[in-house]
Amino acid sequence: MSSQLFEQNLQAADAQTERMKPIIRNARMRQHYHFMAEAGWINDPNGLVFYKGKYHIFYQHNPFGSFWGRMFWGHAVSDNLMHWKHLPHALAPSEHYDDHPEGGCFSGSAIVYKDRLYLVYTGTTNYGNGFVQTQCLAWSDDGVYFKKYDLNPIITAPEGYDAANFRDPKIFRHGEYFYLICGAKKGDFAQALIYRSDDIRHWEYLNVMAESKGEFGYMWECPDFYPLGDKYVLMFSPMGVKNRTSIYLVGSMNFQTGKFDYYSIGEVDSGFDYYAPQSFSDDRGRRLLIGWANAWDWMPWWKDWGPSFKEHWCGFFSLIREARLCEDNRIQFKPVEEYRNLRKESINAEMLLIRDQRYQIKAGDGIAYEMELYIDLKQTTAKKFQLFLHSDDMFESIITVDLEHSELIFDRNNSDSWSKGIAHVNLKYLERNEMKLHIYSDQSSIEVYTDDYQTIISCNVFAENTQNHNYIAACDGMVCVKYMEAWEMESVF
């Protein structure tokens, strides 16, 4: 009966998505080149993997509403990371351990072993005494249709841990063993627990891999762990740490003891709208990351009236970024080179000397574009300069580069009728003679990269098509734009 219910729920999710696609097709706020579900609510990326010659994205999905709800796994594949084909849903709630109106098949990861694709995920349910989260297994031999393991769950929370906060397994292989880490909560502090297996089905608890003493919050969501250069990286989204949505730690790992020691700390993204990044290694050996480009502090409360909720969808993913380790043990996160294939007509200019009067930047249709700015800091005399993006007579987003205080500021308080907040991040490399700003603008988001791709701010901005003007201006002086180029971007959805 469980297998039958699983199939019925998958079919119902697929059918609902098909019903909604014609309604969604002309929604005004849909992205042009950021990954989205075909309809409904989407949050965490899951199960990122390269399998049988294709890139696979799985994702948390509520196909039955444009708000968070009972969780399914959506699924899409691509040959080139840019153009995605949506497949039938991969996972649906159906068993006692993952079937609940406020639970379901929560986040997880994927691994390929002996030509079989395995998914590990958190089953969330409530037996009447509070929520219980356990780690579960499913697999596929064709990468499309999946079967849940008959002996699920494969891992339950250890004694003394909060069973309602034990989730988001990340599976990987090192040497002869498989390893799996989970976010956990013990008392008021976050931990990452590590397990070991020789067959993916049977797991032994190894150790507390790393933990917070309060500085990194009370729960780590979507922990990820991967090698980078000659180091290892632990990445997570902390709960209980204001304004830090995605942290990475660089260090060394002892697989015998299961302990991770770190000596470098950074943020993947300092914007309001970047959460739960997951990484994978592709067939070229690149370490690629995708994050949920939204946030828990505002999206759930937009139900029934927010700009995308009214269009029967909500949520999308960030640009796909490649992680590279720098000499100082910091990490740069650079958009993958495949985005160059979406570039269309370009406009460029050289040696622009701009003062306080706004200089209009021509960039595609003014909404969906990519732009690179190279600022000559030696010739720039202004203490600040600003970019006014997605601008019209009523709204605009303001990017301020404060050269005097080495700060990048994203102000979206007047960007649209919904979004609020000012994001700040310190700049690292202003002692250099040149500063590069790399900007990706889409219908509902702006991503700003600088500091050699080590400083990033991503924010949602829900722009009407009239908000298609973009400007640059200096404050109390002159800014020298050594070179500027902007591209119209192909719409892939």
Q: pLDDT (tens digit, 0 to 9) for every residue of the chain, 493 residues total?
A: 478 999 999 999 999 999 999 999 889 999 999 999 999 999 999 999 999 999 999 999 999 999 899 999 999 999 999 999 999 999 999 999 999 999 999 999 999 999 999 999 999 999 999 999 999 999 999 999 999 999 999 999 999 999 999 999 999 999 999 999 999 999 999 999 999 999 999 999 999 999 999 899 999 999 999 999 999 999 999 999 877 889 999 999 999 999 999 999 999 999 999 999 999 999 999 999 999 998 887 666 666 777 888 899 999 999 999 999 999 999 999 999 999 999 999 999 999 999 989 999 999 999 999 999 999 999 999 999 999 999 999 999 999 999 999 999 999 999 998 899 999 999 998 888 999 999 999 999 999 999 999 999 999 999 999 999 999 999 989 999 999 999 999 999 8
CATH-assigned architecture of domain 341-489 = Sandwich (2.60)
Sheet of strand 455-460: strand arrangement:
343-354, 479-489, 369-376, 434-442, 445-450, 455-460
Q: Is the distance from CB of 176 to CB of 198 less than 8 angstroms?
A: yes
Sheet of strand 259-267: strand arrangement:
219-228, 231-239, 247-254, 259-267
Our CA angle for 310, 299, 402, nearest 5°, is 115
d(CA 15, CA 27): 20
pLDDT of residue 302: 67
CA separation, residue 473 to residues 95, 230, 354, 388, 442 (Å): 58, 43, 6, 8, 22
Task: Assign 3-class secondary structure to 383-448.
Answer: CEEEEEEEECCCCCEEEEEECCCCEEEEECCCCCCCCCCEEEEECCCCCCCEEEEEEEEECCEEEE
pTM score: 0.96
pLDDT of residue 491: 96
Q: Which helix (H) or strand (E) holds 19?
A: helix 2-24
CATH among 3.30.390.50, 2.115.10.20, 3.40.50.720, 3.60.15.10 for 2-335: 2.115.10.20
Sign of torsion over alpha carbons 218, 221, 225, 228: negative
Our CA angle for 326, 327, 328, nearest 5°, is 90
pLDDT of residue 1: 47
pLDDT of residue 299: 66
3-state helix, strand, coil in the chain (%, to 5): 5, 50, 40
Per-residue pLDDT reduced to its tens digit, 87-142: 999 999 999 999 999 999 999 999 999 999 999 999 999 999 999 999 999 999 99
Residues in the chain: 493
Residue found under tokens 């997880």: 108
CA atoms within 13 A on the CB side of 380: 29
Report residue 185 as tokens. 């909560």
DSSP 362: P
Task: Assign 3-class secondary structure to 96-154.
Answer: CCCCCCCCEEEEEEEEEECCEEEEEEEEEEECCCCEEEEEEEEEECCCCCCEECCCCCC
d(CA 324, CA 326): 6
d(CA 180, CA 349): 50
pLDDT of residue 298: 67
Query: In the chain, what are the domain boundaries?
Result: 2-335, 341-489
Report residue 350 as tokens. 């050289």
End-to-end CA distance of the chain: 38
Report residue 397 as tokens. 């987003």
Q: Is the distance from CB of 48 to CB of 39 less than 8 angstroms?
A: no
d(CA 229, CA 283): 17
